[in-house]
Amino acid sequence: MRQERLSIVGQLHQHTKHRTALPVPVCDNPDFTRSPSGTLPKARHPVVQQPLWVAVSFPFLPLEALGKTTQQQPTAVYAQRGQIHIIITSNPLAQKSGIRSGMTLTAAQVLNPALQIVPQDVSAETDWLARLALLAGRWTPAVSIAGDNLLLEISGSTRLFGGVNQLLGKIRSGLAFEAQSPCVSAMPTAASALLCVRNGKSLCIATKEGIHAAIRDLPASAVVAGAKKQRALKQYGISTVGDLLRLPRDGLARRLGPDLVHQLDKLLGKQADPQAAITPSPVFQQASVFDPGIANTEQLMPFMEILLGKLQAHLIQHHVLAEQLEWHLLNDSNSSARIPVYLTHPRRNALDLMKLCRLAFERFQTRDLITHLSLKVNRFAPLPSSSEDLFSILPRTADREASLVERLQNRLGRQAVQGIGMQPDHRPEKAWSRCAVGKAVALPHGAQRPLWLFDTPRSVQMSNGQLLLGSQSLLLQRPRERICSGWWDSQSIRRDYYHAKAAALRAWVFRDLDSGIWRLHGIF
């Protein structure tokens, strides 16, 4: 029996060894690749894109901020440092005379007595650099301002512009159109890119392995800050960044401080160096020009609809709402007019905005031809998350009330449509003030006050002990409310107030405690 079992097992083994394998279906997904029999396909790991930082320096930034780059004579910008004046930058004509940055103003004037000098304007440089940063936003959203330089993280934009070299070419040409001789350098770390452009070195290194060779010949004084530490570098015989990188880290941190070691780690990408990207406000301004001019405002409506359509697209793109609109008109006599459009709550729908703009333009009249029409919005609100009712047909009551207030304010003016707020004063004529429409206010102490309060209380006749308002007699209903206040500002009052009822109205009357005269102050 045992021999028969062994024979059967042997036959099965021979049959299985010579049998062909059944075909296995393979997905058309490219992530699945065919592999040899008996092996599993290698898993594909997502490729992590390394950051690539582009630093841009502007050698003539102080001159460009002052609009002095087109000067046809030697020009230099100076600033006061202590008791002396130092040259900050000079134009190429002044540089031909040997004038350099860091030179004293006296020495520069000795080299070229015809040198034109202008003081440095730091605020103008900040504004100019911010404008260049907004311009750089067309190539990448990650734009930072580092001192007098720009930092752009372009790793996410290279594919869009066809590669690193193509994108760098666009950055150079785009900034060269706005600034003179910008220095552009691309490096894997932000610190190394800034170090290169600050020393006038323009290059492109895509991997961290190439950073050391790119920065080793740069002066060590560009990394070490402080005159005392720079003197120590000379005593130690350290002249380049490569000399710093060759020294032991512990000794370097002990002699020159741990901050220098951290700075070197940031240069090589061994330590994180996050940069805060600027977030420009979504300012909107568009204009239309009319060559022959437009005689009346009704002809402006089609152009206003076009500009409001552009505004709506802008708001949708930036996920914001407009809080206030301003129209600016310029006529052929160079006189301008400003027409604000008031909104009770932020909006972005062009049709709703157009209805309000029509009402605002009803009060505008001009006899001159309108040559320019511009729409400006500089106040925005974030787009809130909201949930709408699936079966709601009619607008909500609050929306209808806000729409009514908007229409009234744009037709009559904001000053003509206001709310009423309470003031902390017991005197009725001083206990209220005008406020924004819809502002929630509460009556103090739960006191009942009439909705219609006269500016000047009206006299009430007394006949046979009966109060008469015209031909109607007033019946006092409630206990009195005595108000004695205002002694501190020479407008004191001493009154007893009563609720009075006539046949057709409820009135608020008082008796002056000093004169005994009865007066009507309001109607409920």
- The 3-class secondary structure across 262-289, one letter per residue, is HHHHHHHCCCCCCCCCCCCCCCEEEEEE
Biggest alpha carbon–alpha carbon distance for the chain:
143
Q: How far are the Cα atoms of 151, 189, 398, 505 from residue 499, in angstroms, in the given order?
A: 73, 80, 33, 11
Please, are residues 457 and 495 in contact by the beta-carbon 8 Å criterion? no
Alpha carbon 240 to its chain centroid, in Å, reads 41
pLDDT in tens, the chain (524 residues): 445 444 543 553 454 444 443 343 333 433 333 434 444 445 444 455 789 999 999 999 998 888 887 778 889 999 988 889 999 999 889 889 899 888 999 999 999 888 898 898 888 888 889 889 888 888 998 999 998 899 999 998 889 899 999 999 999 999 988 888 899 999 999 999 999 999 989 989 989 999 999 998 998 888 888 888 888 888 888 888 898 888 888 888 888 888 888 989 999 989 888 888 887 767 788 888 887 778 787 888 888 999 999 999 888 877 888 888 898 988 877 788 888 888 877 888 888 888 888 888 887 777 788 888 899 988 888 887 666 555 555 445 445 556 666 666 666 666 667 777 777 777 777 776 676 666 655 555 556 777 777 777 887 877 777 787 777 778 787 777 888 887 787 777 888 888 888 877 888 888 888 888 888 888 77
Q: Which amino acid, residue 524? A: F
Domains identified in the chain and CATH numbers: 67-120 (3.40.1170.60), 125-268 (no CATH), 284-382 (3.30.1490.100), 449-523 (no CATH)
Helices 258-268 + 190-198 axis angle, to 10: 100
**Residue 257 per-residue DSSP state:** -
Q: How far are the Cα atoms of 62, 75, 79, 110, 117 from residue 83, in angstroms, in the given order?
A: 21, 22, 11, 19, 18
Please, are residues 279 and 195 in contact by the beta-carbon 8 Å criterion? no
**Residue 198, C-beta contacts closer than 8 angstroms, at least 6 positions apart:** 57, 149, 222
Q: What is the pTM of this model?
A: 0.55
What pLDDT, on the 0 to 100 scale, is given for residue 401? 52
- What is the residue whose two structure tokens read 């004038």? 99
**Residue 365, C-beta contacts closer than 8 angstroms, at least 6 positions apart:** none
Nearest to 133 by CA among 169, 174, 166: 174
DSSP codes, 382-444: E-------TT--SPPHHHHHHHHHHHHHHHH-GGGS-EEEE-S-SSGGGSEEEE-TT-----G
Cα angle value 378/383/386 (rounded, 5°)? 155
Residue 90 and residue 226: Cα distance in Å, rounded? 25
- Residue 213: which H helix or E strand, with range? helix 211-215
What pLDDT, on the 0 to 100 scale, is given for residue 415? 65
What pLDDT, on the 0 to 100 scale, is given for residue 456? 79
Residue 403 and residue 214: Cα distance in Å, rounded? 64
**Residue 2 per-residue DSSP state:** H
CB atoms within 10 A of CB 139: 21
- Interval 125-151: pLDDT, tens: 888 898 898 888 889 989 999 988 999
What pLDDT, on the 0 to 100 scale, is given for residue 459? 79
Q: How far are the Cα atoms of 272, 379, 499, 514 from residue 466, in angstroms, in the given order?
A: 89, 60, 15, 20
What pLDDT, on the 0 to 100 scale, is given for residue 359? 84
- Interval 282-316: pLDDT, tens: 778 888 888 777 878 788 888 899 999 999 988 88
What pLDDT, on the 0 to 100 scale, is given for residue 442? 57
Strand 116-119 and strand 75-81: the pairing is parallel
Q: What is the CA radius of gyration of the chain?
A: 40
